[in-house]
Amino acid sequence: MPHRTLRAFLALALFCVATASHALVFAINEGVTYRVTNDEIRAKYAALATDLGKLLKQPVTVEPIGDYPTLRKGLASKEYDLAFIHPAHLSVLAMRDSGYKLLAVTKGYQNYTANFLVRADSPFKTLADLKGTSVGAPDEDSITSWMVRATLRDALGDAKQVSLVYTRYQDAVPFFVEHGLTRSGATAANSVVKAWSAQGGRILAKSRPVPIKHMLASSSLSAEQVQKVREYLLGLDASEEGRKKLEPTKYEGFAPYAEPDMLAIGKWLGL
**Per-residue model confidence (pLDDT) at position 2:** 52
SS3 of residue 269 by DSSP? helix
For residues 213-233, b (16+ Cβ closer than 10 Å) or e, as one string? bbbbbbeebeeebbeebbebb
pLDDT tens digits, residue range 90-122?
999 999 999 999 999 999 999 999 999 999 999
In this structure, are strands 24-29 and 184-187 parallel, antiparallel, or unpaired?
A: unpaired
pLDDT tens digits, residue range 233-260?
999 999 999 999 999 999 999 999 999 9
Cα(first)–Cα(last) distance of the chain, in Å?
A: 60
Look at residues 206, 231, 258 and tell me which one is the last residue of a structural domain: 206
Closest CA to 80 of 66, 60, 97: 60
Edge-to-edge strands, sheet with 254-255: 60-64, 24-29, 82-85, 214-217, 101-106, 254-255
Answer yes or no: do 26 and 94 share one domain.
yes
Q: What is the CATH number of the domain that holds 137?
A: 3.40.190.10
Answer yes or no: do 158 and 199 share one domain.
yes
Look at residues 186, 206, 226 and tell me which one is the last residue of a structural domain: 206
**Per-residue model confidence (pLDDT) at position 22:** 81
Phi/psi for 185 (5° steps) reads: -145, 150
Answer yes or no: do 152 and 232 share one domain.
no
Work out the burial of residue 15: count CB atoms within 10 Å of its CB; fewer than 13 is exposed, 13-18 middle, 19 or more buried. Answer: exposed
For residue 186, give its domain range: 115-206
Answer yes or no: do 85 and 99 share one domain.
yes
Answer yes or no: do 223 and 169 share one domain.
no
**Rounded to whole angstroms, how far apart are CA atoms 198 and 219?**
47
Answer yes or no: do 227 and 244 share one domain.
yes
Query: Could you tell me which residues are beta bridge partners of residue 29?
Result: 85
SS3 of residue 241 by DSSP? helix
Per-residue pLDDT for the chain (271 aa), expressed as one digit of tens each? 554 554 544 444 444 444 445 899 999 998 764 467 889 999 999 999 999 999 999 999 999 998 899 999 999 999 999 999 999 999 999 999 999 999 999 999 999 999 999 999 999 999 999 999 999 999 999 999 999 999 999 999 999 999 999 998 888 999 999 999 999 999 999 999 999 999 999 999 999 999 999 999 999 999 999 999 999 999 999 999 999 999 999 999 999 999 999 999 999 999 9
Look at residues 206, 225, 243 and tell me which one is the last residue of a structural domain: 206
**Rounded to whole angstroms, how far apart are CA atoms 33 and 107?**
21
Answer yes or no: do 7 and 106 share one domain.
yes
Closest CA to 102 of 113, 123, 88, 116: 88
**Rounded to whole angstroms, how far apart are CA atoms 157 and 151?**
10
Closest CA to 216 of 113, 112, 97, 46: 97
Amino acid at 122: S
Tally of domains in the chain: 2
**Per-residue model confidence (pLDDT) at position 19:** 45
Judge whether 52 and 26 are in contact, CB under 8 Å. Answer: yes
pLDDT tens digits, residue range 157-169?
999 999 999 998 8
Give the angle subtended at the CA of 259 by the CAs of 257 and 260, to the nearest 5°.
Answer: 120
Answer yes or no: do 200 and 244 share one domain.
no
Answer yes or no: do 23 and 79 share one domain.
yes
Answer yes or no: do 172 and 197 share one domain.
yes
Answer yes or no: do 26 and 145 share one domain.
no
Answer yes or no: do 218 and 264 share one domain.
yes
